[in-house]
Structure 1
Amino acid sequence: MHVQPTPPEAAGSAPVRVTPSPVALPDPWSRARLTVVVPTYNEAANLPVLVGQLMALGLPNLGVVVVDDNSPDGTGEVADKLSVEYDGRVTVVHRTRKEGLGRAYVAGMTRALDDGADYVVQMDADLSHPAGYVPQLLGTLMSTNAGVVIGSRYVPGGSLSENWGTRRRLLSGWANAYVKAVLSMPVRDVTAGFKIWRASTLRVLDLPGIQSTGYAFQIEMHYRAFRRGQKMMEIPIHFEDRIVGESKLDGAVALEAALRPLRLRRAERARR
């Protein structure tokens, strides 16, 4: 069963926000423990909106793990209040300092697995990943033998925010082409950050051994899944641009993302 998200609005209208409706899932879906892992740093305005959208999906046994890197804007405190508001369905992992997206995801995924999650969704807190796609990600994963289902901007039907300028589109397209050329992965959106994993797949990826600290985490996770023979599927999504807050992408993060594919390829060749 695939639950289709609300289609994007026409260009030039208000920013796209997929509004989910409650979804009635048949067994065994209704018994599946689904955990959404959301790293945060200065997302106090966006986090309540995202958590509200996720809870409004009506998915039973859905929980959220927020991993906050001691945000100066009080995101951690906002997350604690959301935990109370949603009767403990929001778990907060407080870290003492900013260590990067990759380390935050490892911490959040580890917590989700330790708490018994069957499926783990990863998504950004900036509302660029519409929550309304989560049922479709879950449905695709559960109805196939995939180890991971990726919300893809670059398969037919996928799209980017109208607010993205030509430079950003070219940079994103180049980054995907570069990574695919270096690592030869059969994935169109290799830098995607919106996806759902089987718990069993995450366990074979050796999360503690992940080396990437920034956005290169997405690339390394995809490559590990690919090299370990996990089936990888993509479904189209509309990727929105953030409205509130600032991007965390800086020069050091971009450099790591450029060098990590080369290091992964070198390490793989050394193992042969």
Structure 2
Amino acid sequence: MSDCLVIIPTYNEKENIVKMIHTVFSLPHDFHILIVDDGSPDGTATLVKDQQKEFAGRLHILERKGKLGLGTAYIAGFRWGLERPQYKYFFEMDADFSHNPNDLVRLYQACAEQGGDMSVGSRYVKGGQLQDWPWDRVLLSYGASLYVRLITFMPVMDPTAGFVCYTRRVLEAIDFDKIRFVGYAFQIEMKFATRQLGYKIVEVPITFTDRVEGISKMSNGIIKEAVFGVMQMRWRSFFSSYGIS
């Protein structure tokens, strides 16, 4: 019985999801998958359900109505997994292969064998890199990471990263009702909450590749949330904790 749950939010990922499922289940470590689908009109959920016939007990799906945000999708997945005591390690990963599924094993080892409470697939530590990105997007991404580090004082080189492993103890300690962000800034806030509560964050170098199939979900609203929200998050931290009261 697996103690690892890989949570993958989806919205219109029919080009990627079946290949992703098969790739994760081919890994040398035993992972379970939870797809959190936000009512994809392209039939992503139907494809997942078809795969459940082959991977019964290992592949799960949580269907939601409409696009409710990346952060709420992950929190819904966390809550689902925490209700099942077998899961000790929870993973965030994109469906589009920008995160290499083979690195799941390394993220797991960083927590299970190397003492991390959270492990982060990092583009900006030694050995990490970006592949097939235009220079302006690289500059924006690295600049955002530098900005977050300056505002939050987090010793995390890639605070915006979305390829993450959490131990159960971290997720059980965080009050999800205090997590404000629903877009990509959610990734920043979860790392900030983990750090604020005194847990150890370990970065694992990865190669991040731009998606090949499907359409990017990035928007101006997401960028604004990250820029202005980080300052608000830092200010609130002087007066409250992310811990469960």
Q: 2:71 aligns with which of 102, 125, 148?
A: 102
What are the superposed Cα offsets for residues 7-64 of structure 1, whole Å, 9 maximum, x if unpaired? xxxxxxxxxxxxxxxxxxxxxxxx651000000001011011111110000323x210
Tell me the CA shift for residue 113 of structure 1: 1.4
Counterpart code for 1:258: V
Choose which of 103, 114, 118 in structure 2 pairs with 1:133: 103
Unaligned regions of 5+ residues in structure 1, if any?
1-30
Instruction: Identify the residue that residue 209 of structure 1 maps to in structure 2.
Output: 178
The answer to whether structure 1 residue 39 and structure 2 residue 9 are counterparts is: yes
Does the CA-based 8 Å contact 1:32-1:119 persist in structure 2? no
Match of residue 219 from structure 2: 250
Opposite residue 110 of structure 2, the aligned amino acid is: T
What SS does the aligned partner of 2:53 have? helix
The Cα shift of 1:208 comes to 3.3
Select 1:155's aligned residue among 119, 125, 139.
Answer: 125
Q: What does 1:28-177 correspond to in 2, within 5 Å?
A: 33-60=3-30, 62-116=31-85, 117-161=87-131, 163-177=132-146
Report the 3-state secondary structure (helix = DSSP H, G, I; strand = E; otherwise coil) of the residue aligned with 2:35: strand
Say how many residue pairs are matched.
240
Listed one character per residue, the Cα deviations across residues 239-265 of structure 1 (whole Å, up to 9, x for unaligned) are 011000111011111111112211111
Distance 1:271 1:201 in 2: 18
For 2:27 and 2:5, the matched residues in 1 are separated by: 13
Q: Which amino acid aligns with 1:198?
A: T
Q: Are positions 1:189 and 2:120 aligned together?
A: no
Which AA in structure 2 matches 1:166? Answer: W
AA in 1 matched with 2:19? V
Normalised by the length of structure 2, the TM-score is 0.95
Structure 2: give runs of 5+ residues left out of the alignment: none
Among all aligned residue pairs of Structure 1 and Structure 2, give the percentage whose two residues are the same amino acid.
36
Amino acid at match of 1:35: L
Distance 1:90 1:51 in 2: 8
How far residue 206 of structure 1 moved from its aligned partner, in angstroms, is 1.6
- In 1: Cα distance, 2:106 partner to 2:146 partner: 26
TM-score with structure 1 length normalisation?
A: 0.85
**Structure 1 position 207, deviation (Å):** 2.2
Residue type matched to 2:153 in 1? S
CA deviation vs aligned residue, 1:126-168 (integer Å, no higher than 9, x gap): 110001111111112111221101110000000101x201100
- State the alpha-carbon separation in 1 of the partners of residues 81 and 238 from structure 2: 32
CA distance in 2, matches of 1:214, 1:181: 21
Contact between 2:2 and 2:32, CA under 8 Å: does it hold in 1?
no
Question: Would the aligned equivalents of 1:68 and 1:95 in 2 still touch at CA under 8 Å?
Answer: yes
CA contact 1:106–1:208 (8 Å) conserved in 2: no
Match of 1:259 in 2: 228
Alpha-carbon contact 1:37-1:105 (below 8 Å) kept:
yes
3-state SS of paired residue (1:222): helix
**Structure 1 pair 249–56 and aligned structure 2 pair: CA distance change class (3 A):** same
